[in-house]
Amino acid sequence: MKLLFENFEKIIDSSNGIEKARELVLQLAIEGKLVKQIQDDEPAINLIEKFQLEKEDLIEKGLLKRQPYIENEKNKEKKNNLPKSWETEFLGNLVHYITKGSTPTTYDFQYQDSGIPFIKVENVKRGRIFIDGKTKYISEEAHEFQKRSQLQSNDILFSIAGTIGETCIISSDILPANTNQAFAIIRGSQTVFFPQFLRLLLNSHISLSTKNLARGGAMNNISLGDLKNMLTIIPPYNEQKRIVEKVDSLMSFLDELEEKRNRREEKRIQLNKSSLDKLVKSKNEKEFKLNWDRLTDNFDKLYSVTKNVDKLKQTILQLAVQGKLTEHWRKENPNAEPASELLKKIKAEKEKLIKEGKIKKSKELPPIKEEEKAFELPESWEWVRLGFIASFITKGSSPKWQGVNYVDDKQLLFITSENVGSFKLLLGKRKYVEWKFNKIEPRSILKQGDFLMNIVGASIGRTAIYSIDETANINQAVCLIRFSHSFYEPDYFLQFFNSNACLVQMFDKQVVMARPNLSMTNISKFLIPVPPITEQREIVKKTNELIEYCNQLKQQIESKQQKQEKLVEVVVKQIN
């Protein structure tokens, strides 16, 4: 315990520290290490004996069915590590019965807007039942029909399907009520267990065990048999109350610490956002330097969370495509060929390729309006539409639409949105289709140096360069952007495509249907800030240096978090 208090602040500040602290509190509670034992407390064995007498009386009166007694040597093994006044027993031996509910619609009953509350897992959070606008109701007839799952005061619900281990105690103020088959109903345990203590057990020792027993399938679930066979620990009744009181106090304290930590982190995030906004909006080199110096002076405060570092990386990209990282370079290179000359060369090259029949003439693009320009460019830069500088913009197709099968053997590499990350290809999971797909869809056969951009769903905007020497094709969720000239720096355009400057355009232009998606027409209209080609190379160099610095900073933060997490593990092991 000494090690715990000596390192308490470090433990709490670790990414999973408070979660681990909560687990540790529960662990200490069920091991008898959280409160002192009092010799005058009635021992747990007496509670079990009283329960057995009570249960026999109910069976003799016909109010309860006899259940087979569960016996196992694990019972004795566990008891050896507990205080003398404690006992161990299987849950099924200490309750009147454990059952579960059923769904009204199975019996042709329908849900209603009012009536008897029908408790589902989504109604229970942190031990409380929430009756709100999302609550379902059943009729009195349906409630009466489903007698097995009619809830009673002090019943304990334990979720056994989907979300495993969600618990609550039924209070009289929500009755009458009913529940479904996702909950086990644990009834008649009050002689042995203080209700809040049994719920505490279910949240710790039993909950962890049942999660390990959860079976797969469409939805995780455990059986009532698994729950009945969970080995429980039983302290004296008065000690159970003291444990619950202590646990509640410690959990409230941890809740406060978590809230303070969250507020502190949110403050860091907001301060970081404000600092980065000022950086982006800097009007000149002097103002930019002043804002950058302020940022670096507060690095320790701002960059103790990886989320802030990711935002810094995105800001660096934004500054890069605005020309703010290379203001000093432009002063030292006033004679660099301006982008206007570069665009003339691109136009001439495209016209030559069109005449030679190597590329097709693209549709006329609309002129650029002043209100479309997201920010002011340096004098030597130009705004241009993507369709003007790209020679080819298309997307792939679905193999299913073309009567092509996916195959296990390595035939044609098939790139989907899953394979396109920000800045890089993600080829850990490769898919292959039959070779005939290339004959059906030759326009989307990939070449090295092609830009691949996700244009459908949640991954819209992720862009990478196809950089491997392997024949491949793409599906309909991926856009191919190809340049047939050499008057550009590929990595500059890759940085632009993955920057907020481009992402804003993407989300502004996306068509919202069943899933967000971008059309080829909209992509060709994207506005690109084009620097002189020599400055493009300088931007790439400068940006890569800063991004590498960010990566190192992120590694330092993650390393610190890992050390803190290891410290948590060491403390927990030593306490055990």
Residue 501 and residue 456: Cα distance in Å, rounded? 19
CB atoms within 10 A of CB 125: 11
* 368 and 485 in a common domain: yes
CA distance 125 to 168: 8
Q: Which residues contact 256 (CB under 8 A, 6 or more apart)?
A: none
Q: Is 265 in the same domain as 314?
A: yes
The enclosing H or E element of 185 equals strand 183-187
pLDDT the model gives residue 408: 87
300, 327 in Cβ contact below 8 A? Answer: no
Max Cα-Cα span within the chain: 103
Rounded Cα distance between 288 and 547, Å, is 18
Cβ contact 473:512 at 8 Å: no
In this structure, is residue 395 part of a structural domain? yes
Does the N-terminal peptide bond of residue 176 adopt cis geometry, omega within 30 degrees of 0? yes
Residue 96 lies in a domain: yes
State the pLDDT at residue 182: 86
Q: Which 3-state string (H, E, C) describes 434-469?
A: CCHHHHHCHHHCCCCCCEEEECEHHHCCCEEECCCC
Tell me, yes or no, whether 128 and 190 share the same domain.
yes
Q: Which of 235, 268, 291 is the last residue of a domain?
A: 235
Q: What angle do CA 116, 119, 120 make, to 5 degrees?
A: 145
Q: Helix 500-509 crosses helix 490-497 at what angle (to 10 degrees)?
A: 60
In a domain, 25, yes or no: no
Asked if 321 contacts 379 with a C-beta cutoff of 8 angstroms, the reply is no
pLDDT tens across the length of the chain (576 residues): 454 555 555 555 656 667 777 877 888 888 888 888 898 899 999 999 999 998 999 999 988 888 888 876 655 566 667 888 999 889 999 999 898 877 777 766 788 888 888 988 888 887 888 888 778 888 888 888 888 888 999 899 998 887 787 888 998 888 899 888 888 999 988 899 999 999 888 877 565 566 566 665 555 677 888 888 888 889 999 999 999 999 988 888 888 888 887 887 777 777 777 777 777 777 777 777 787 777 777 666 666 667 778 888 888 899 899 998 898 899 999 999 999 999 999 999 999 999 999 888 888 899 999 999 988 999 999 999 999 999 999 999 999 999 999 998 889 999 999 999 999 999 999 999 999 999 999 999 999 999 999 998 888 889 999 999 999 999 999 999 999 888 899 999 999 999 988 888 887 766 555 556 788 998 999 999 999 999 999 999 989 988 888 888 788 777 776 766 665 565 555 544
Domain assignment present for residue 3? The answer is yes
User: How many C-beta atoms surround the C-beta of residue 30 within 10 A?
Assistant: 22
Domain around 550: 1-19+257-336+533-576
Domain contains 244: no
In this structure, the answer to whether residues 9 and 136 fall within a common structural domain is no
Q: Which residue has the tokens 């990414």?
A: 15
Q: What are phi and psi of 135, to 5 degrees?
A: -65, 140
Angle at CA of residue 379, ends 388 and 328, nearest 5°: 120
Number of domain units in the chain: 3
Q: Are the C-beta atoms of 542 and 320 separated by less than 8 Å?
A: yes
SS3 112: strand
pTM: 0.61
Straight-line distance from the first to the last Cα atom of the chain, in angstroms, rounded to the nearest whole number: 10
**Statement to judge: residues 148 and 201 lie in one domain:** yes
Q: Which pLDDT belongs to residue 82? A: 84
Q: Answer for the pair 12, 21: CB distance below 8 angstroms, yes or no.
A: yes
Residue 246 lies in a domain: no
Report the relative pairing of strands 167-169 and 431-433 from DSSP bridges.
unpaired
Answer yes or no: do 263 and 371 share one domain. no
Asked if residue 324 lies in contact with residue 531, where contact means CB atoms within 8 angstroms, the answer is no
Tell me, yes or no, whether 443 lies in a domain.
Answer: yes
How much is the pLDDT for 484?
87
Residues 472 and 505 in one domain: yes
Q: Are 479 and 452 in contact (CB under 8 A)?
A: yes
Rounded CA-CA distance 336/202 in Å is 72
- Answer yes or no: do 194 and 220 share one domain: yes
What tokens appear for 23 in the block?
A: 């687990």
User: Are 293 and 389 members of one domain?
Assistant: no
What values do phi and psi take at 189, rounded to 5? Answer: -105, 0
| Structure token digits, residue 349 | 């090259």
Based on the domain organization, do 402 and 513 belong to the same domain?
yes
> What are all long-range contacts of 280-285, with beta carbons under 8 Å and residues at least 24 apart?
280/315, 280/318, 280/319, 280/322, 280/324, 282/324, 284/327, 285/327, 285/328
What CATH number has the domain bearing residue 417?
3.90.220.20
Phi-psi region of 403 (alpha: psi -120 to 50; beta: other; left: phi over 0): left
- 64 and 8 belong to one structural domain: no
523 shares its domain with 559: no
Residue length, the chain?
A: 576
- Measured between alpha carbons, how far is 492 from 317 in angstroms, rounded to an integer? 10
The SS3 of residue 168 is strand
